[in-house]
Structure 1
Amino acid sequence: MKKTFYSNGKLLITGEYLVLDGAKALALPTKFGQNLIIEENNNQEIKWKSFDADGSVWFEETILFSEIISNVPFEKESVKNTLITILREAYQMNPNVISNSEGLIVSTQLTFPKKWGLGTSSTLINNIAQWFDIDAFTLLKNSFGGSGYDIACAHNNGPILYHLEQGKPIVEKTNFNPTFTENIFFVYLNQKQNSKNAIASYKEKRNDLEASKKIINQLTQSILNAKDENTFAEALEKHEKEMSSVLQTKTVKESLFPDFDGTIKSLGAWGGDFIMAVSKENPRAYFQSKGYKTILEYGDMIL
């Protein structure tokens, strides 16, 4: 019998990096995500195939059940070894899925291009957690690591406020439906940021963050409560300035778009993936002239 699971992609609007240290973040699930399809097979193995949004296969491997059950550590990182690590942790939490099976055919299908960075890993982890009937946050913590806001987006269909309290995820459903969404755009920066590397770099730079966390928490609330475009944009700019100070890095507007007539906010790991642009005029021509062709309107991106 075929089983199908689905998880939403994500965008982190506020609290990037500092969410790892307890700051409150506003996160939005996207209309894009990933499917996981399970079918029974044989030979005590998983035939795994992962499809990108265009239908091309980006990963294909056969994984033996014995590789999942084993505790032998891996000598090098690879997509296959990362996947086995996740499956090992899932198996430890619920052995029945593997123990009660003769073999499996598994396929994943992204509905967004993998390079966009909307949550290839988080949607996979959440889907595997659904498949194994285990807690997705625990699976993330034991395998891939991270704050977990992306896991919260994966199984929520609306805006959330997210923070860690003594290491435990706190998810609050919230209302975020600006009346000025026609002025909000998402632009892909033509490069996918490695979130693990970005987090490692942040950890090297961070000092005492209590003051910054308080400022970011206040700005998150201001962004959430903004009733007009100007108030919204002003809070975003203050957020960028504060994170620029924390990361000791120029804002993306300073680095790439100093002549842009509007506000630009980094989303998630700075330097890659998507930015959010707020502009009174449609900025498509501006970004295209700079070589950035992937520009999505708010309603096309956000669930």
Structure 2
Amino acid sequence: MKTTFYSNGKLLITGEYLVLDGAKALALPTKFGQNLTVEKSNKQEIKWTSYDADGSIWFDETIPFGAILSTTPFETESIKNTLIIILRTALQLNPGALLISEGYIVTTRLTFPRKWGLGTSSTLINNIAQWFQIDAFTLLKNSFGGSGYDIACAQNNTPVVYYLEQGKAIIETVQFNPSFSKNLYFVYLNQKQSSKSAIASYKEKKNNLETQKEIISQITQTVLNAKNETAFAQTLENHEKILSTILETKTVKETLFPDFNGTIKSLGAWGGDFVLVVSEENPKSYFSNKGYETIIEYRDLIL
């Protein structure tokens, strides 16, 4: 008997980095996500196979139960070791979840290309949490780390305003159906950004950000309430300027697209994955001419 779990991918529209410190962020679940299928075997191990969106295998390993039951820390970082750490943490949260006398065949399938950065890790963690019948936010906190907005997207089929209050995740489902969505596009920057390293860099740079945190929270609300494309675009540009100052980094438009006639905003970790583009004219030829071929309309990506 097979059991299948599914989680949505994510895009963080506002609040990147500062969401770690309590700023309110707008996050959108995507039409793409990841499945995890579990079936029992009799080999006292987990045979784990992960498929990319094109059907290719990107991870294929056998994990003995002994590695999961062990408390010995790993000296090196690898996909397999990270997975074992997540499984160890999940088992600590629910010791009865695995039948050690049996075994499992686990298959994961992404419905988006892994390189896109729409939440390969967060969808995995949420799926494992469903399998182990544990709280996904606790599993994330105790294993991989992060704010948790991506877990909120994994679990919800509507946009969410997400923030941390005394370390606790607060999720508000909201309506976000901009009348100008036909002028919104998502462009992949041809490189995946590591969330872990980006967060570490932010923590090194940040000082007392209470004022900026409040401003970003207000921007999130302004974005939600924007009545037209002009107000929406201006608010996103203001967001970019604030984060550029905090991170001591040029905006993506300044760096890569200074001649673009429209608004471009980084999403999530700066320097990779997707950007949000606001443009009255279809920008596909502009970005294609610069070597960026993955340009997706809002309606085709957002759930």
Deviations 1:83-109 (A, max 9, x none): 000000111111222136500000000
1:40/1:101 contact within 8 Å kept: no
**2:159 matches 1:183:** no
Deviations 1:96-151 (A, max 9, x none): 22136500000000000000000000000000000000000000000000000000
Query: Counterparts in 2 of 1:1-303, with a 5 A limit?
Result: 1-99=1-99, 102-303=102-303
CA distance in 2 between partners of 1:101 and 1:233 (Å): 57
Matched position secondary structure for 2:98: helix
2:44/2:100 contact within 8 Å kept: no
Give the CA deviation at 1:16.
0.1
CA distance in 2 between partners of 1:246 and 1:220 (Å): 17
Give RMSD over aligned pairs. Answer: 0.7
Any stretches of 5+ residues in structure 1 without a counterpart?
none
Amino acid at match of 1:37: T
2:65/2:100 contact within 8 Å kept: no
CA distance in 2 between partners of 1:53 and 1:94 (Å): 31
Deviations 1:204-240 (A, max 9, x none): 1101101111111111111010011001001000000
1:53/1:113 contact within 8 Å kept: yes
Amino acid at match of 1:6: Y
Number of residue equivalences: 303
Matched position secondary structure for 1:98: coil
Deviations 1:15-62 (A, max 9, x none): 000000000000000000000000110121000000000000000000
Q: Kindly tell me: are residues 154 and 101 of structure 1, through their superposed partners in 2, closer, same or farther at Cα, counting changes over 3 Å?
A: farther
Taking structure 1 as the reference length, the TM-score comes to: 0.99
Amino acid at match of 2:3: K
CA distance in 1 between partners of 2:118 and 2:132 (Å): 23
Matched position secondary structure for 1:99: coil
CA distance in 2 between partners of 1:198 and 1:227 (Å): 33
1:65/1:98 contact within 8 Å kept: no
Alignment identity in percent?
Answer: 73
CA distance in 2 between partners of 1:74 and 1:220 (Å): 40
2:12/2:268 contact within 8 Å kept: yes
